[in-house]
Amino acid sequence: MLIDSYNRVVDYLRVSVTERCNFRCSYCMPEKPFSWVPKENLLSFEELFEFIKIAIDEGVKKIRITGGEPLLREDLDKFIKMIYDYSPSIDLAMTTNAYLLKGTAQRLKDAGLKRINVSIDTLKSDVAQQIAGKDVLKNVLDGVEEALRVGLKVKVNMVPMDGINSQEIVDVLEYSKERGMSVRFIEYMENQHASKEIKGLKSNELLEILSKHYSFSDDGFDGASPSHYYTMDDGYRFGIIEPYEDDFCTKCNRIRLTAEGYLIPCLYFDEAMSIADFVKRGEIKNAALVLKEVVKNKPEKNRWGGDDGESSKRAFYETGG
Ligand code: SAM
Ligand code: SF4
């Protein structure tokens, strides 16, 4: 079992399979970065899998594939099947912008994928174009329908931004609710890669808008999820992720692996250790030692709410959010 110095059990690994993306979301990657990681520096699926086996053997029970846009990476279904075959009971999920989901959802489901989280920031084509930098909405919504049709569980992520999509909070909630998908509103997290003009809505502003339409109770946190949950009178549950708070850090159970092989103990901090050379050379024991070291050094909490005014330097498309 992996236990950090604050007695938290780490059993959730997020694996970013690429930092590349077919969207240019204003809050994440408004422009193509000057320096993509060269393709030859990316770990192959076989190399990533070598590490994933170690993590599963050490007690990891949940794996989320993310990116950049994970569906840009060829043969993703084969990678998912490798993980599933090794540990069929693993909670295997993916976060995607859904643009390429139509036509791939069935294969992913057959390979062993159980759940997906999809970013839906708007239901209006022009706003989607404004946020993502291209006309994406139809493909995204078709992808979601297909995922539901093939039996994947789907959750929706929305980043509400003042003057951009803040009018659509109720619409996105209703869209999700009608389809049996839970929605989580993610407070915009400042980072040095995002568009400078964005002003994200804070949890109290979101709750004020929602309370004009619904009555709901505050359920607090649920397990290790960073979401603060609320249940509406009809039983529908929505969540808000408030990174500027650090309550959820006390139960944090996750670490992140980038496509280049860096293990990151906390989304906020720059600290990371590489397992790349070890998995490339087949030095499994050394990779396992790095995993244990990273878990040991996991910081107590993030610093988004800190008073030093610093925002995170690392891009979300690198770490997978
Ligand atoms: N491309 C996939 C997607 O968009 O779902 C997966 C990667 S994306 C980096 C993962 C999550 O990070 C998405 O839900 C996205 O909304 C969120 N995200 C990215 N930048 C963010 C920011 N600055 N603040 C809050 N959430 C952010
Ligand atoms: Fe791409 Fe996801 Fe970042 Fe948007 S949020 S730019 S879809 S990685």
Size of the chain in residues: 321
The structure tokens listed for 9 are: 């059990």
Separation of CA 316 and ligand 1 centre (Å):
6
Report the pLDDT value the prediction gives residue 218, as an integer from 0 to 100. Answer: 94
Q: Could you read off the pLDDT of 271-296 as tens digits, one per residue?
A: 789 999 999 999 999 999 999 999 99
Judge contact between 205 and 163, C-beta under 8 A. Answer: no
Q: What is the pLDDT of residues 81-98, one digit of tens each?
A: 999 999 999 999 999 999
Ligand 2 pocket member 133 (CB < 6 A): no
Nearest bound ligand to the CA of residue 120:
1
Q: Residue ranges of the domains in the chain?
A: 12-319
38 confidence band (pLDDT: 50, 70, 90):
confident
Q: Which fold has domain 12-319?
A: TIM Barrel (3.20.20)
> Residues 296-307: pLDDT tens digits?
988 887 665 555
CA distance 250 to 55: 22
> Nearest bound ligand to CA 134?
2
Q: Provide the pLDDT for residue 306.
A: 55
Mean local confidence (pLDDT), 31-56: 89
Q: Are 121 and 144 contacting, i.e. CB atoms less than 8 angstroms apart?
A: no
Could you tell me the distance, in angstroms and rounded to a whole number, from the CA of residue 222 to the centre of ligand 1?
21
- Dist. CA 141–CA 127, nearest whole Å: 14
- Pick the atom of ligand 1 nearest to 243's CA: 25
Of all residues in the chain, the percent with pLDDT exceeding 90 is 76
pLDDT in tens, 19-35: 999 999 999 988 877 77
Least distant ligand from the CA of 117: 1
Residue 207 belongs to what H/E stretch? helix 203-211
Q: Does 318 contact ligand 2 (Cβ within 6 A)?
A: no
The per-residue pLDDT for range 227-260, each reduced to its tens digit, is 899 999 999 999 999 877 666 788 889 999 999 9
Which residues line ligand 1 at a C-beta cut-off of 6 Å?
21, 27-28, 66-67, 69, 95-97, 119, 157, 159, 186, 188-189, 191, 194, 316-317, 320-321
Take residue 223 and report the two structure tokens written for it. 């397990």
* Numbers of helices and strands, H then E, in the chain: 10, 12
From ligand 1's centre to the CA of 284, what distance in Å? 31
Q: How far is 203 from 251, CA to CA, in rounded Å?
A: 20
Model pLDDT, residue 167: 96
pTM over 0.85: yes
Gap between the Cα atoms of 106 and 30, Å rounded: 31
Tens-place pLDDT, residues 118-128: 999 999 999 99
